A and B are shown apart, each in its own frame.
Chain A
């Protein structure tokens, strides 16, 4: 089993999409939300994902394909 801490950033048009629910139902990933801020025009959720390593990777790839941005919780770590 692997755990991953990630941040999802939702553009306005995807705020109403049940992305996290689908990660649980369609991929069997355990999701645990720790912090979130959802507004009319954008939103983000910081959460932990738990599941088989490959399944978590597949799940994140699917989330990215929907247009939701996936980042490590530390944000961009590649510095100039």
Chain B
């Protein structure tokens, strides 16, 4: 960890040692890892990165952990696909899909959790914990298993069985918390104070958040060491949006890419779009909302990084877009039918928002655009509804041919 300087408050800039802390003691602002970027720039080159592993750990010099101790389940360096079919449909010549749904637990969460689990071992925690309604719990359970740590997964008691099983298979202790969402949220926040556990998105949050930067590095490297003109990123807490931009800026600062002019667009679902609402009304405060969206993985009504995501939107000239709820499934199907990629509802939000950005003239035909698909569609099958309309036929050639002709008409 030779390049890490300290933790620093994002608000008042007070510095803290590298410890499992997430809030400033003075202003209670969130803490972030600060680096010695001169040291990073001296240590890395395009060649050194290219000779690294085909995982996110090829960027270890930019991460706040020791490479040697990495809890790695082969996360990252996921495909960046030139989406020619979807691009043709939308009128974009250079559209790329960053397909992070092919990570080991089928979502981008493996990136921040890999960093967190590694850091938790460095801090000599015995227990890795999280509170989640989906992707995060699977990733924490898998990394806990790999690290040989005791793992605690908290979730609201009314969560769908499929999501619970997807995490339980890795053998964590599963804890169903009764009560409302807000009660569960506060209870788990108190748990993090009461137990000496590595709670991935609470006391370990500064390290957790850093893992998402690797998406920015990867996209820049995969585009031939060049930042894209546009990124379309799904928005929940807003952290992914800010960290992809941080990754691009860090690559620029280290001299690995030229000055980036990337517009960082943020895609939220209409039923939970507090950051987009603040963006559209010109506020720098994010008004909390009660989520009512089918995009459950984006249903964060009081986003922790909302104000910072707003800063990135305004700094880069990006646009906040809210995808209509009834267009989310259309977005999923459009991506599946054109590129053969089945994404979850968050990906549907991204594709639907991308379509709106093009219609609004925010993205031009010849500009390099990357849409981030962060989770696998098999995780949200229930949201797809009953959309299958099969041809029903007897096992007779004539019947089948008649029905097929009718369908094709």
| A complexed with B | yes
Among B28, B237, B297, B306, the residue within 8 A (CB) of A73 is B28
> Does A18 interact with chain B (Cβ within 8 Å)?
no
Chain A: interface residue total (CB-CB under 8 A)? 22
Whether B189 pairs with A35 at a CB distance below 8 angstroms is no
> Does B267 interact with chain A (Cβ within 8 Å)?
no
| Known interface pairs A34-B28, A42-B287, A79-B136; A72-B189 also in contact (CB < 8 Å) | yes
A-B contact number at CB 8 A: 96
What CA separation (Å) do A52 and B205 show in the bound complex? 29
Whether A9 pairs with B288 at a CB distance below 8 angstroms is yes
| Known interface pairs A5-B23, A76-B302, A76-B303; A71-B29 also in contact (CB < 8 Å) | no
**Residue in A closest to B290 when the chains form the complex, CB atoms:** A69
Q: Which residues of chain B in 122-136 are interfacial with respect to chain A, using CB atoms and an 8 Å cutoff?
A: 130-136
What CA separation (Å) do A39 and B282 show in the bound complex? 13
| Known interface pairs A39-B285, A78-B156; A72-B300 also in contact (CB < 8 Å) | no
Chain B: interface residue total (CB-CB under 8 A)? 44
> Does A77 interact with chain B (Cβ within 8 Å)?
yes
Given A74-B23, A77-B131; 19 other pairs, CB 8 A cutoff:
A37-B285, A39-B283, A39-B285, A46-B27, A46-B28, A69-B288, A72-B186, A72-B189, A73-B28, A74-B22, A76-B302, A76-B303, A77-B188, A79-B130, A79-B135, A80-B132, A80-B135, A80-B297, A80-B298
Q: Can you sample 29 A-B contacts with CB below 8 Å?
A: A34-B26, A34-B28, A35-B11, A35-B27, A35-B29, A42-B287, A46-B27, A71-B186, A72-B185, A72-B189, A74-B189, A74-B202, A74-B205, A74-B304, A76-B300, A76-B301, A76-B302, A77-B131, A77-B185, A77-B304, A78-B300, A79-B135, A79-B236, A80-B134, A80-B135, A80-B136, A80-B296, A80-B299, A80-B300
